[in-house]
Structure 1
Amino acid sequence: MQAVYFTLLVGNTLAASFIWGINTLFLLDAGLTNLEAFAANSFFSIGMVVFEVPTGVVADTLGRRVSYLLGTVTLAVTTVLYYLLWVWESPFWAWALVSVLLGLGFTFFSGAVEAWLVDALTATGYTGSLERVFGRGVSVAGIAMLGGSTLGGVVAQATDLGVPFLMRAGVLVLMFVLAAVLMRDLGFTPAGRSNPIAATKQVFVASLKYGLGRPGVRYLMLSSMFTAGVGFYVFYALQPYLLELWGDEGAYSIAGLAAGIVAGSQIIGGLVAPWLRSRFRRRTTSITLSIAVSAGILVVLGVNRSFWVALLLLVLWALIDAAAGPVRQAYINDMIPSSQRATVLSFDSLIGSSGAAVIQPVLGRSADVWGYPFSLALSGVLQAFAVPFVWLSRRSGEAADVATTADAAPDVAPTDDPRIE
């Protein structure tokens, strides 16, 4: 099952990363301002907010495999539409609409694949740490991202900014075929309820109970309002920021290299994740330190004027984020029952997307008015607001904060509030 998971992860990341290094440049080339470009990204986040729970219900009722297949089809179609908007030099409202539909495509993935993996690991008797599996996944995705983002930047410079989008659509079609053949729901039986409204209500209510209703999960989710929004903005703002420092706004390969550096750091960070987990008794310690340190790095990026120093800081920022990511994934999965896992994970993504929908246009506007360096420093300040929420999650005393195996998640949420002294 891990091999199938890594295969899906490589395909998804490769397809997505073709455009990661040049997405902001693509939007600006289409005639959008910084505000409009990041507002388009914001509409993508709004799409994720609107569709997260309904698509999470699809995964928890019809199955994780069905959800994944729907995601590949939706993303392939909307990616082609994005390309056509660029060709037609379409108005902003069209970009906003298609961005919402792109968000729909990603919501079929968010929560579903991760829930599929954890259920399959449990069903096949896996007793190792989730950090190890998720860490390997981060590294594998980093390898795919390194190749995809670098290739996307080189192809864009050799041809035009639209070709990487067509490459992405082609890989997504291939992933649909692979998933149809390889992916099977293990450790989870789709409910297949006949009434979609009743199914949505039943799973949504249960997800609220085991998600927002559980303090440890609730506060961890709320922290993502700041980390997800800032992460989205910084990754895409680094493209024009680095080109500005480099001094050649047409050097698209530099933008692709920037995404490639993030990917390389992600490879190392994923391998470091189990080590990071072993350094601290509590998972929340690792998460808190990573948020605080990366926030400081963003502030330093805001005052830096050297291209090479910026690259070094970018490596550190990406490395810290990649190492802490699997720890957070393991922590939240260990607090969620299997039957609500996909929907609760989607709800977590929903909250992060809500923050991104607000933060991205604000930071984009700050870049228009005061420049990219100021907006990056402001990003660091905003990310620091996530720290108190992680501390509150820690204070809830969840057993998952000190768990080390994949079978720590309860089949049903406990009725009391376990305290870890």
Structure 2
Amino acid sequence: MLSLLRKPTNIQTIYLSLVAGNTLATSFIWGINTIFLLSAGLSNFEAFLANAFYSVGYVLFEVPTGVIADTYGRRISYMLGALTLAISTALYLYMWHIQGPFWGWALSSMVLGLGYTFFSGATEAWLVDALKATNFKGSLDSVFAKAQIVGGAAMLIGAISGGIIAQMTNLGVPYILRTLVLLINFAMAFVLMQDLGFKPTRPKNPINEMSKIVNKSITYGYKNPPVRWMMLSAPFVVGVSFYIFYALQPFLLELWGDDKAYAIAGVIAALTGLSQMAGGFFSPKIRKLFKLRTSYLLAGTLITGFLLILVSMVSNFWVAIIVVFLWGLLFAALVPIRQAYLNGLIPSEQRATVLSFDSLTGSAGAIAIQPALGKIADVQGYPASYAVSSIFQFAAIPFIYLARRQKPKSDPIEI
């Protein structure tokens, strides 16, 4: 088994399989999650506030779980994530079944956030370390772009099937399927993942070891200007993307004229998957137009902001679909470039924790931005909330520009 793992192609296959499994499990509910919350009696504000508590869980546990990945290993972290998500999804389903109080939704969402923090940073760090250990000679951008395509395909399948299954049965069944897939992911990681290029420390004093890693991660993260400025752009981009995605289904169903068309909601979520696939496919081609990754990121962030303004002005369902698809394509095309930029500046020993810091920063923005935009949707409607979201999107641009001014070694694009 170990000899098979020591080939870059096999490492990539395992990574892409894990991405596909994660995304498939998650996407079963993406098309219906906001509708699921609203059907439990929550308002738009409460639904997005529940999502914000998911982000609170992300913020609270991001660094501790990142440290676990950097001490006990990426494999252990991944398996803990799959198990925690399976349990929290079952808790979510229970809250829906009993029409539970808001505090119960908040707690469920925080546990859900805990589950995802075990994944964030760990899977990506596992890939980068394993590729280096197996003398991979290719470009990380291309690997991450493949992940966007595979993840998009899994989202396409999961979102459409989740919506159709909900339409044929009820809103709870896709959550049961999600739990089953997560348990399969756990088994796959147990068998296939090995920590290559990284040796878990198994510290005698975990608290002291975690403290050392956090301090080093701050040194290589927030105290490292090109990393810091890129991280500080994350709250705006991540906060907006979370809201756009989860508001997309009720917004477009409103344009469609039937808020009970769950199958259409699944197709809408699948559209995001299709745009992600397209973004991953076109990302390597678009990057040839730029010499610097930050130039790519600046242009993409600006254009996606203008597309959000355009969405807010559209009243036709099909036109809105086209504009949203273009927004999703460009957003997805930016992800591999940003990942390669950050990974090129972080040492292996601190990679998972620093990447967790990055996720934490993005989640902090989602905590504030999601309920704020949800309240605007309650008071003034979804189009107004999309218009305001563009302002948050544009706010990321100065930070990306400041990162560019540092002239980091990972900024030039290798052709």
What's the TM-score once normalised by structure 1's chain length?
A: 0.95
Q: Is 312-321 or 273-282 further displaced after alignment? A: 273-282
Distance of 1:318 and 1:311 partners within structure 2: 10
Match status 1:401 vs 2:411? yes
Whether the aligned pair in 2 keeps the contact of 1:131 and 1:277 (CA below 8 Å) is no
Q: Deviations along 1:157-181, whole A, 9 cap, x unmatched?
A: 1111111111000000011111100
Match of 2:7 in 1: none
Match of 2:355 in 1: 345
Structural mapping, 1:239-258, within 5 Å: 239-258=249-268
Q: What is the DSSP-based 3-state SS (H/G/I as helix, E as strand, rest coil) of the residue aligned with 1:19?
A: helix
Match status 1:14 vs 2:24? yes
Aligned equivalent of 1:286, options 296, 314, 328: 296
Aligned equivalent of 2:94, options 77, 84, 88: 84
Match of 2:344 in 1: 334
Distance of 1:157 and 1:380 partners within structure 2: 33
Match status 1:386 vs 2:390? no
Distance of 2:398 and 2:33 partners within structure 1: 32
Distance of 1:71 and 1:318 partners within structure 2: 26
Whether the aligned pair in 2 keeps the contact of 1:299 and 1:381 (CA below 8 Å) is no
Match of 2:320 in 1: 310
Q: Deviations along 1:115-138, whole A, 9 cap, x unmatched?
A: 000001111111211110000010
Amino acid at match of 1:28: L
Q: Deviations along 1:324-357, whole A, 9 cap, x unmatched?
A: 1100110010010000000000000000000000
Whether the aligned pair in 2 keeps the contact of 1:292 and 1:384 (CA below 8 Å) is yes
Structural mapping, 1:172-183, within 5 Å: 172-183=182-193
Whether the aligned pair in 1 keeps the contact of 2:35 and 2:250 (CA below 8 Å) is yes
Structural mapping, 1:198-209, within 5 Å: 198-209=208-219
Q: Which runs of 5+ in 2 are unaligned?
A: 1-10
Amino acid at match of 1:149: A
Aligned-pair CA distance for 1:144: 0.3
Q: What is the DSSP-based 3-state SS (H/G/I as helix, E as strand, rest coil) of the residue aligned with 1:305?
A: coil
Match of 2:376 in 1: 366
Distance of 1:131 and 1:278 partners within structure 2: 12
Aligned equivalent of 1:158, options 124, 148, 168: 168
Aligned-pair CA distance for 1:308: 0.5
Structural mapping, 1:89-104, within 5 Å: 89-104=99-114
Aligned-pair CA distance for 1:191: 1.2
Amino acid at match of 1:382: F
Match status 1:262 vs 2:272? yes
Q: Deviations along 1:217-262, whole A, 9 cap, x unmatched?
A: 0010000010000000000001100000000111011111111111
Whether the aligned pair in 1 keeps the contact of 2:291 and 2:413 (CA below 8 Å) is no
CA-atom RMSD in angstroms? 0.8
Aligned equivalent of 2:329, options 302, 309, 319: 319
Amino acid at match of 1:224: A
Whether the aligned pair in 1 keeps the contact of 2:36 and 2:171 (CA below 8 Å) is yes
Amino acid at match of 2:303: V
Aligned equivalent of 1:48, options 40, 58, 66: 58
Q: What is the DSSP-based 3-state SS (H/G/I as helix, E as strand, rest coil) of the residue aligned with 1:402?
A: coil
Aligned-pair CA distance for 1:199: 1.6
Aligned-pair CA distance for 1:279: 1.4
Distance of 2:53 and 2:60 partners within structure 1: 10
Distance of 1:7 and 1:404 partners within structure 2: 27
Distance of 2:287 and 2:225 partners within structure 1: 22
Aligned-pair CA distance for 1:268: 1.5
Match status 1:223 vs 2:227? no
Distance of 1:333 and 1:165 partners within structure 2: 34
Distance of 1:162 and 1:292 partners within structure 2: 38
Match of 1:235 in 2: 245
Aligned-pair CA distance for 1:278: 1.8
Q: Deviations along 1:74-108, whole A, 9 cap, x unmatched?
A: 00000000000000000000000110010000000
Q: Which runs of 5+ in 1 are unaligned?
A: 406-421
Q: Deviations along 1:352-407, whole A, 9 cap, x unmatched?
A: 000000100000001000000100111111110000000000001101001539xx
Distance of 2:259 and 2:278 partners within structure 1: 30
Aligned equivalent of 2:82, options 72, 84, 100: 72
Amino acid at match of 2:382: Y
Distance of 1:123 and 1:279 partners within structure 2: 31
Amino acid at match of 1:328: R
Distance of 2:288 and 2:133 partners within structure 1: 26
Whether the aligned pair in 1 keeps the contact of 2:290 and 2:413 (CA below 8 Å) is no
Amino acid at match of 2:260: G
Whether the aligned pair in 2 keeps the contact of 1:28 and 1:34 (CA below 8 Å) is yes
Distance of 2:176 and 2:209 partners within structure 1: 36
Amino-acid identity (%) = 54
Whether the aligned pair in 2 keeps the contact of 1:150 and 1:253 (CA below 8 Å) is yes
Q: What is the DSSP-based 3-state SS (H/G/I as helix, E as strand, rest coil) of the residue aligned with 1:401?
A: coil
Q: Is 254-263 or 66-75 further displaced after alignment? A: 254-263
Match of 1:197 in 2: 207
Distance of 1:127 and 1:327 partners within structure 2: 18
Q: Is 275-284 or 84-93 further displaced after alignment? A: 275-284
Distance of 1:192 and 1:225 partners within structure 2: 33
Whether the aligned pair in 2 keeps the contact of 1:130 and 1:404 (CA below 8 Å) is no
